[in-house]
Amino acid sequence: MTSVRICIVGTGYVGLVTGACFADVGHDVVCVDNDSAKVALLREGGMPLYEPGMEEIVQRTVKAGRLRFTASIAEGVAHAQVVFIAVPTPPQSDGSVDLSYIEKVAREIAACLTSPKIIVDKSTVPVKTGEKVAETIQRYCPHRTDFDVVSNPEFLREGCAVADLMKPDRIVIGVTSQRPVPTMRDVYAPFEAPIIVTDINSAELIKHAANSFLALKISYINAVAAVCEASGANVQEVANGIGMDRRIGRAFLNPGIGFGGSCFPKDLRAFIKIAEQLGVDFRLLKEVQAVNAAQMDRFLRKITDTLWVLKEKRIGVLGLAFKNNTDDVRMSPAIALCERLLAEGATVRAHDPRAMDKARSLLPGVEFIEDMNEVAEGCDALVIATEWDDFKHLDLDRARASMTHPIMFDGRNLFDPVEMERLGWVYRSVGR
């Protein structure tokens, strides 16, 4: 393979995973972050986030000399043939995307651009951002250096981001000319995945369209789950039946308490706003949002219908991260659930295998329990809020014996209703 010199600006989930995996397949990578404390942590072998497999890859590639960290963007740009921008694009109050981080990095790159480079938007950005990045670099580059801007959206899922990057379904490269394409093919050659070359605007739309469609699938099966509950059907059997149709697929047809995290809610709002700014009323996506919000309300009604009054009730919650295999609690439905329970006057005991440290500042009224098998002690009910595999191995006999009454609200359908009833539980799940 042809080794490429790469700079990654930003060491969040996307930047760190991308940089480490690029280094692992043989590229020469410098990761840049303006947080000097994070840079120091990474240089010392520490990890600012939890992602399965990441720590080992970072340590291996740093030791091999193919990955290093710096707070100097000038150092990173000088090193690289290709500069990836992987900084946050947080939502604003109206749903539009805050592009100030992208703009700032574009100006910083421009200021130290002295030789031709390929500048790649890796962050999730609205359509036409590539045009603005190119304009900004052109405007602020004192040396009038030649460059190309490329859109290369990421499709990483937290909790399995390493596998997603190493074995991608596809790689999208959006360009204004064919000039940067050979180098971008060299970057991705080790991953042996289909490469789709498009115009920049199409590449930028692909990411928002993909995430919005996946959010739609989740809201669809949650709406189907409500019909199943009302009719006495089993949503898992329905999902299996429709998921075997190759046109539909089984992925993302798992009902629960609603989607969350840093991507789906943000990207959905952004896509609605992007469409609105272009004169298109994307009403379908607004309904996806409404169904998602209603799913939490429906789940809370299960709890109140059974427990009646939540005030002074003691409730154990298993799961705080927005999904399994991550410590990310941003826009987590589990966090929102705890907040709603606390607002109703309940006492909450909670456990998560990875996310408790990040959850503490968000849930000051919650008692955090290190052992999942101790969460149920003295509780009036137990709630499964995140789909960690660990929770499938909960000591159900111990939990039942330690509770005032063995009631479980399973927001992730981890257990078999027939078996739970046989074990003496009052068991409520989703769509069954």
> Tens of pLDDT along the chain (432 residues)?
799 999 999 999 999 999 999 999 999 999 999 999 999 999 998 999 999 999 999 999 999 999 999 999 999 999 999 999 999 999 999 999 999 999 999 999 999 999 999 999 999 999 999 999 999 999 999 998 999 999 999 999 999 999 999 999 999 999 999 999 999 999 999 999 999 999 999 999 999 999 999 999 999 999 999 999 999 999 999 999 999 999 999 999 999 999 999 999 999 999 999 999 999 999 999 999 999 999 999 999 999 999 999 999 999 999 999 999 999 999 999 999 999 999 999 999 999 999 999 999 999 999 999 999 999 999 999 999 999 999 999 999 999 999 999 999 999 999 999 999 999 999 999 999
Write down the pLDDT at residue 119: 98
In this structure, the answer to whether residues 302 and 256 fall within a common structural domain is yes
Q: Are residues 235 and 188 in the same domain?
A: no
- Bridge partner residues of 307 (DSSP): none
- Contact 335/363 with Cβ under 8 angstroms? yes
How high is the pLDDT of residue 171? 98
Distance CA 264, CA 272 (A): 12
- Residue 277: CB atoms within 10 Å: 12
pLDDT at position 328 is 96
Q: Are 10 and 120 members of one domain?
A: yes
Going by the DSSP 8-state scheme, the letter that residue 177 receives in this structure is S
Is 394 inside any structural domain? yes
Query: What's residue 1's pLDDT?
Result: 74
Q: Is residue 126 part of a domain?
A: yes
Neighbours of 392 (CB within 10 A): 11
pLDDT for 303-315, tens place per residue? 999 999 999 999 9
The torsion defined by the Cα of 54, 57, 63 and 65, in degrees rounded to 10, comes to -110
Q: Is residue 374 part of a domain?
A: yes
- The answer as to whether 341 is a domain residue is yes
Do 249 and 144 fall into the same domain?
Answer: no
How many domains does the chain contain in total? Answer: 2
Instruction: Let me know whether 187 and 239 are in one domain.
Output: no
Q: How far is CA 355 from CA 50, 254, 347, in A?
A: 9, 22, 19
Domain carrying residue 361: 213-428
What is the number of alpha carbons within 13 Å of residue 64 lying toward its C-beta?
17
Over the Cα atoms of the chain, what is R_g?
A: 23
Helices first, then strands: H and E counts in the chain:
16, 14
pLDDT for position 118: 98
Q: Are 420 and 400 in contact (CB under 8 A)?
A: no
Q: Is the dihedral of CA 332, 18, 252, 264 positive or negative?
A: positive
In a domain, 407, yes or no: yes
Catalytic residue among 21, 31, 228, 263: 263
Task: Say what the pTM is.
Answer: 0.94
Domain end residue (candidates: 160, 193, 226): 193
Whether 242 and 119 share a structural domain: no
Q: 């000591």: which residue's tokens?
A: 395
267 and 413 share a domain? yes
189 and 229 belong to one structural domain: no
Instruction: Tell me if 334 sits within 8 A of 365, measured CB to CB.
Output: no
153 and 245 in a common domain: no
Whether residue 202 is contained in a domain is answered as no
Asked if residue 217 and residue 168 are part of one domain, the reply reads no
**Residue 263 bears catalytic tag:** yes
Residue where one domain finishes, among candidates 133, 161, 193:
193
- Out of 165, 193, 221, a domain closes at 193
Asked, for residue 207, whether it belongs to a domain, the answer is: no
352 plus 247 within the same structural domain: yes
Chain centroid, CA 149 distance in Å: 25
Q: Is residue 309 part of a domain?
A: yes
The CATH number covering residue 72 comes to 3.40.50.720
Same domain membership, residue 143 and residue 242:
no
